[in-house]
Amino acid sequence: MAGVLALSGCAKLPAFLQQGAVAPPAAPPAAKHVSPPPPLPAPSAGIKALLNYAGEAAVMPPDRQTMLCTQSKTHLDADSGDYARVVLGVMAAVMPDCISPEQMESVLQPVAANRNSPYHGLAGVLAAIAQQRQASDQVLAKARQDATQLRAKLKALTQIETQLNQVKDRELQNLN
């Protein structure tokens, strides 16, 4: 190409041709290889069946739910193993009247603390639900207490207003 330009009368070569061969642009630095996250493990058939059972129990009539709760308690009394504890915990999670949040947490605590239990993770989640429910119950109890106090104050203010109106009416009658 330089020869063609020289023959065409260009006395001076363009700068890009004077420098010689241009090196290709440098490749961007290689990104660190990040391995993909491990694949999700297949859910345990027992836990999956238990969660399906809980889903069915959640939509049952109240009398049937009470029976399932009683069965779960009886099962725990007969066998205090991890599975019986988790079953009662799941029933309590979908049926809040089954056992109190405090009872639910105490039932699940041994399983949640045992890292070797296949139900360890589920028990931890259920124990967290119990703690959240307990906190919600405390907030609700405080709100009810505050509402009761406000009603009492309103009643007292209403009585004071009634008494002031009576005094005002008597004063107006005395002026007439």
pLDDT on residue 160 = 95
H/E run at residue 160: helix 120-175
pLDDT on residue 5 = 44
pLDDT in tens, the chain (176 residues): 444 444 445 555 555 555 555 555 665 665 556 556 555 455 567 788 888 889 999 999 999 999 999 999 999 999 888 989 999 999 999 998 899 999 999 999 999 999 988 889 999 999 999 999 999 999 999 999 999 999 999 999 999 999 999 999 998 888 87
pLDDT on residue 100 = 92
Query: Between the CA of residue 98 and those of 48, 73, 102, 104, 109, what are the distances in Å?
Result: 21, 9, 12, 9, 17
